[in-house]
Amino acid sequence: MFTNLVDYFFSLESKRKKLLAKAPEGPLKEFLKVPFASTEQAIGEVDILALDFETTGLNAKQDKLLSVGYVNFKNGLIKLGQSHHQIICSNGDMDKDNVVIHQITDTEKANGCQLEQVIEQLLSDLAGKVMLVHYANIEKTFLEQACIKLYGMAPVFPIIDTLALAKKHFERAQKHFDPSQLRLINLRAAYGLPAHHEHNALNDAIATAELLLAQMRNYPQGFSTPLSEFLLK
Amino acid sequence: MSTELADIHDFIKAIEPFNQLSDSAIGQVINQISICYVREGEPLPPQGIDQPSLYFLRKGALAYYDMSNGEDGELLGKYGEGDICSVFCRTDRKENIKVIPEEDTLLCVIDYEELKVIIKDYPEVFAFFMNTAGERLQNKVASINEEAIVSSTLMNMSISDFYHAPAVTIDSKQSIQDAAIKMTELGFSCLVVVTNDELAGIVTDKDLRRRCIAQGLAVTQPVSDIMTSNVQLIDVNHSAHDALIKMTSGRIHHLPVTKNGKLAGMVTVTDLMNQEGLNAVNMASTIRKANTVVELAKIAELLPKLQIRMAKLGTTADHVGKTISAITGSFTMRLIEMAEKQIGPAPVPYAWMAAGSQARQEQFAHSDQDNALIISDDMQPEDDKWFADLAKFVSDGLAACNFIYCPGNVMATNPKWRQPAKVWGQYFDKWINQPEPLALMHSSIFFDLNTVCGDASLLAGVRAKMLNKTKANTLFVAHLSGNALKLRPPLGFFRDFVLISNGKNKKTLDLKHNGIAPIVDLARIYALSEGIEAVNTIDRLRQASGTPSLSSKSAASLIDAYEFLGMLRVEHQARQLQANTEPDNYLAPKEISRLEREHLKDAFKVIKSMQNSRQTTYS
């Protein structure tokens, strides 16, 4: 299994190099220029960017990005001073239900940044780091889709998914679990973490980083555990 | 950084002393914060933090251990959500303290140097981190004393505390005579006149005299002819002081009281004067005029009210104790006068003594009676009958006045405590020269005596000899110290509990036994070892200040701690008396603010350090 992982990551790193050759000049190319962290590296030494997107829906092709929040995280310390939250202005009225969930109104959205600026900033801040998310599907596909739209191609990036880690933990322990137990809020509660302000991209990003800190208890080597143990396959 | 961090902002904003910071300063604090997570059992600081830092506990629990005496360490305190950990703020830490998470713990951490830059414009916040426990307590007590002076008698009382409800009304169409009849029947000097249930005016005794009789107006005329329309009103939530100002400036004696805009009652100038009149001077003079025990008992019912009132006015515990003790003294003196009237004059001179808290002038309402008699050495065996009768009369009288009989039988009715001066001298000789812990514990109350009534020279003589002996007797002082150290203050608070030294939690803090009594005991020891006559705790500490027994700095800290604990006790009891429950000394942490808990912890530290220095001197 370990060899497979190395193979997988080797291919991710090799994919990065291949894409770099094809990438147009600009933010995407700058992102791809920075090598990924080695999978052998201890997790404590790896630069991590905890990230969360709020979107109008689950389909990256149809739905839109509403806001982006992220915070830097290294060696067990979540640096609030190195955090970022940005609302994205896009065309089209917002779905009423989403206004309720994300509490972003049309007026706020109009005061937001263009998608292009936001993605450019995100790629620059993500370069050389591992992305940390809860339920990778959203952030992965929306970021890929945005890059295709803006630069004509999608990049690759290493991801740690706290939901996938939790699932793996349940499966390893051969514990029966209900899918709702994998929700960010429920996992946090199970680890004794305080309630947080949900559905705000930055607060969710911080909440995800805190969850990873709590999940570290499942790794006897702690912050010396190699990154490969955490990466999403 | 983003303004989106509402969770952390609210969390920091709720923590003392950061609640004093502006929102933008809190933003700056957040900007410097890292979140980290420490596992149960892994000592702080966490990996990656090597600079002096302050920690905020977001979730979990930390235990502090003093490692200076041995490997296991002595538990110093426990901290939970919303507490801060300042142990690692300084690099030049003298104490050897270990901080260990008792659960997996989520922390916010900020570099202390960065924090100092942010809080430099907030002197009180800055002082919080820079000052010692004693210094913080001193600031707090200074501000309490200031408040006590500023608050005037009526300022802190609300009209809702004493207005008459409901107001008695009369319809404006009814006659002047009807009004006069109603006022006479009810014994009221004033009625509210209403038209269709709406307030139209008021009519008073004075209106009947000036606007009706003097003018020769027929009493069959409607009452509206003589009423004062254009009435001044006052809302029930205003202070008594506001009412007084309104009355004096308008030269009126009656104010209808409104509640939510509706007529609710009436307050008169007499009510205000009665409120003003409920003070110690008034009470003492009514006690002097009382002729029967029943009358005295009636007056005694006012004692808890007086205590509530003083508490509301922000009176210091010292002042409350002195007032209540003085009034107990007045009751006792009046009872002795009544007794002498009944059983004739005393056969030989004597002194009626108060013992314990009353003698120290630290008594509160609802306390029990502790008393004794020192009789002239000229007394003959047959004289005891007279003193037994006196003791019974006074003791029963005090009991009727709600000073319950002493459960330990420290009363003049007990022949053991009704003795000539020479026997008292022998008692003290025995306690001092052959000290035994248990006997000393029971007799410590007799080292706090004062004369309530009678020949003061009797006690003075006994006391002078006693102090001469205690001053020279280190064994006695050692035994007294050993007893005093049995009552220890708790370590502090953990979540909403009181944390005691074995690491267990208690729901309430026993203010008396774990805070006030240890200081009283220490003060007694200082006084007896230095030959100080005073019995009042603060007086003892002041007089012992600067002697070999007590440095002036420690004396000041102990006085501050004593006054702060006393204030909490006065306020706690006022809440209970107000709710008509029996006052006690059990304070639940929930009753007080986080800041007050901090001050309490400071007080505990002061007591503990003085107890420890006693221990090293005498063990």
How far, in Å, are B272, B280, B300, B397 from residue B286 at the CA level? 19, 10, 10, 16
Please state, for a pLDDT cut of 90, what percent of chain A lies above it.
65
Partners of A77 on chain B (C-beta within 8 Å) are 34-36, 48-49, 109
Closest CA to B443 of B356, B377, B354, B538: B356
Q: Average the pLDDT over A56-71 and give the result.
A: 90
Cross-chain Cβ contact A76/B104 below 8 Å? no
Inter-chain CB proximity B58 and A69 less than 8 Å:
no
Antiparallel, parallel or unpaired: β B497-499 and A130-133 = unpaired
pLDDT at A100 over 90: no
CATH number at residue A211: 3.30.420.10
- Are the beta carbons of A77 and B4 separated by less than 8 Å? no
Is A83 in CB contact (< 8 Å) with chain B?
A: yes
Mean pLDDT value of segment A185-201: 90
Residue B151 has pLDDT above 50, yes or no: no
pLDDT at residue B150, rounded to an integer = 45
The stretch B503-530 carries a mean pLDDT of 91
Q: Token pair for residue A204?
A: 């969710």
Query: Quick one: pLDDT band at residue A99, thresholds 50, 70, 90?
Result: low
Question: Taking the model in full, what pTM does it have?
Answer: 0.69
Residue A148 reports pLDDT greater than 90: yes
Q: What is the interface pTM, i.e. ipTM, of the complex?
A: 0.87
Write the pLDDT tens digit of every residue in B298-321: 889 888 888 887 777 667 788 888
Chain A residues close to B103, C-beta within 8 Å: 192
Residue B482 or B70, more confident: B482
Task: Delineate the domains of chain B, giving CATH numbers in brackets.
Answer: 3-130 (2.60.120.10), 162-273 (3.10.580.10)
At residue A108, the pLDDT reads 59
- Please give the pLDDT value at position B152: 46
Q: Return the pLDDT at B2.
A: 43
Provide the angle, in degrees to the nearest 10, between the axes of the packed helices B133-150 and B123-130: 140
Over range B403-411, report the average pLDDT.
93
Residue B614 pLDDT class (50, 70, 90 cuts): confident
Say what the pLDDT of residue B149 is.
Answer: 47
- From residue B231, how far is each of A45, A140, B250 by CA, in Å? 79, 75, 10
Q: What is the pLDDT of residue B484?
A: 85
Provide the residue range defining the domain that includes A207: 2-229
Mean of per-residue pLDDT scores for chain A? 87
**pLDDT digits over B223-281, tens only?**
999 998 888 889 888 877 777 767 766 667 888 998 888 888 888 877 776 665 556 66
Mean pLDDT of the region B149-177: 77
pLDDT at A187 over 60: yes
- Alpha-helical segments (H) within B174-259: 176-186, 205-207, 240-250
Distance of CA B191 to the CA centre of its chain: 41
B385/A contact by beta carbon, under 8 A: no
Least confident of B105-119, B337-351, B461-475, B497-511: B497-511
Task: Name every chain A residue with its beta carbon within 8 A of the beta carbon of B30.
Answer: 80-81
Residue contacts between A and B (CB atoms, under 8 Å): 81
Structurally, how many domains does chain A consist of? 1
Q: Is A81 on the interface with B (CB under 8 A)?
A: yes
Q: What percent of chain B has pLDDT over 70?
A: 93
Quote the mean pLDDT of chain B: 87
Q: Do A80 and B58 touch (CB under 8 A)?
A: no
A216 CB neighbours in chain B (<8 A) are: 37
Q: What angle do CA B339, B342, B347 make, to 5 degrees?
A: 75
pLDDT score at A1? 46
B252 contact A CB<8A:
no
pLDDT given for residue B318 in this prediction: 86
What is the enclosing helix (H) or strand (E) of B273? helix B269-277
Contact list in B for residue A202 (CB cut-off 8 A) is 2, 4-5
